[in-house]
Structure 1
Amino acid sequence: MKATPLAIPEVVLFEPRVFGDARGFFFESFNQRVFDDAVGKAVSFVQDNHSRSAKGVLRGLHYQIQNAQGKLVRVVEGEVFDVAVDLRRSSPTFGRWVGAHLSAENKHQLWVPEGFAHGFVVLSETAEFLYKTTDYYAPAHERCLAWNDAEVGIQWPMTEEPLLSEKDKIGKSLSEADLFD
């Protein structure tokens, strides 16, 4: 498995080696040693989540201000544009974002560490999205950064307004958001 740090080096793109023939394909979707070496620390996952969304749905940008979650995300049906925003005030990349296309076809995965807001927009007719988390869901500590905050300036690859949940419609700007140290 190839691991590539993105422009924010703590966010890592994983590209598996896929072995395919007329019968189908096989690939190793997770290897603890490879993962820990790539992210530079031992990581334990405690929860797996699975969502299905229609084209144009934008989920995010979510984070938990306490019980912060690192997320290893991937798509098993369809395609999304996945984004991580650095919310660590002490970071040299504070307020910056990185994004990657994740799809069932490319089988890429993205590591979004603790201290980042995370979200994605669905580019295909539907998408099934899987992710592992390093801490449990804690609704009292959940926060939402505005998907369209001009200060962050995410370049979402869409031409129409996204479909948002009520929670995501009231995301806060970077200047108003609860942040990490």
Structure 2
Amino acid sequence: MKVVATDIPEILLVEPTIFGDERGFFLESFNAREFAHNAGFSANFVQDNHSHSQRGVLRGLHYQISNPQGKLVYVVQGEVLDVSVDLRRSSPTCGKWVATRLSARNRSQVWIPPGFAHGFLVLSESADILYKTTDYYNPSAERCIRWDDPELAIDWKLQAAPILSAKDQAGVLFKDAELFE
């Protein structure tokens, strides 16, 4: 496993070791000991989630103001543009974002620590995203920032208007969002 820091050093790109031959491939999608060794910290995952979406679906930008979740995100089918936004007031990168292409082809994962909003846009015909979280889903703590917030100015690489849920359409602007200390 190889772990690479992004432009926001706490957001990590995780590249698993892949063993392949004419039959196919094998990889460990998660190994706690290897993750801790290569990332420099341990993550205690308590919940696994699976999201399936069609091309053009944009989910996010989501976070939980209490029970904040760290996430390890992995695409098992398709391709997405995965976006993380720093919501930590005390951070020099507060309000900055990182976008990563995750796909079944590159098999990369992204680690998003607590204190960040998360979203993704499906670039392929459909996509299946698996992600581990470090805390449980808490609907009363869930918050959403608008995907198209002009202050964040995220380049989603859109080809057409995205498909959004009602919740995502009602997201707040970054300037009005509840942030972490």
TM interval, shorter chain, is over 0.9
Residue identity over aligned pairs, in percent, reads 60
Deviation by residue 1:128-171 (Cα, 9 ceiling, x = unmatched)? 00000000000000000110111111111112110000000011
Q: Which amino acid aligns with 1:56?
A: G
Give the number of equivalent residue pairs. 181
Aligned to 1:136: 136
For structure 1, the residue ranges without an aligned partner over 5 or more in a row are: none
Aligned to 2:101: 101
- CA distance change for structure 1 residues 78 and 139 in 2, over 3 Å: closer, same or farther? same
Aligned to 2:81: 81
With normalisation by structure 2, the TM-score equals 0.97
| CA drift at 1:17 | 1.8
Whether contact under 8 Å (2:2, 2:38) holds in the other structure is: no
Matches within 5 A, 1:13-162: 13-162=13-162
Aligned counterparts of 1:115 and 1:40: Cα–Cα separation in 2: 18
Residue 175 of structure 1 aligns to a residue in which SS? helix
Deviation by residue 1:108-141 (Cα, 9 ceiling, x = unmatched)? 0000100000000000000000000000000000
Taking only aligned residues, the RMSD between alpha carbons, in angstroms, comes to: 0.9
Q: Which amino acid aligns with 1:85?
A: V
| CA drift at 1:4 | 0.2
Residue 34 of structure 1 aligns to a residue in which SS? helix
Aligned counterparts of 2:71 and 2:146: Cα–Cα separation in 1: 19
- CA distance change for structure 1 residues 173 and 39 in 2, over 3 Å: closer, same or farther? farther
For structure 2, the residue ranges without an aligned partner over 5 or more in a row are: none
Which shows bigger deviation, 11-20 or 76-85? 11-20
Q: Does 1:177 align with 2:177?
A: yes
Which shows bigger deviation, 27-36 or 62-71? 27-36
Residue 176 of structure 2 aligns to a residue in which SS? coil
| CA drift at 1:23 | 0.7
Residue 68 of structure 2 aligns to a residue in which SS? coil
Aligned counterparts of 1:162 and 1:58: Cα–Cα separation in 2: 6
Aligned counterparts of 2:96 and 2:33: Cα–Cα separation in 1: 29
Whether contact under 8 Å (1:12, 1:38) holds in the other structure is: no
Which shows bigger deviation, 105-114 or 23-32? 23-32
Deviation by residue 1:79-116 (Cα, 9 ceiling, x = unmatched)? 00000000000000000000100001110000010000
Aligned counterparts of 2:95 and 2:39: Cα–Cα separation in 1: 21
- CA distance change for structure 1 residues 39 and 2 in 2, over 3 Å: closer, same or farther? closer
Aligned counterparts of 1:57 and 1:38: Cα–Cα separation in 2: 33
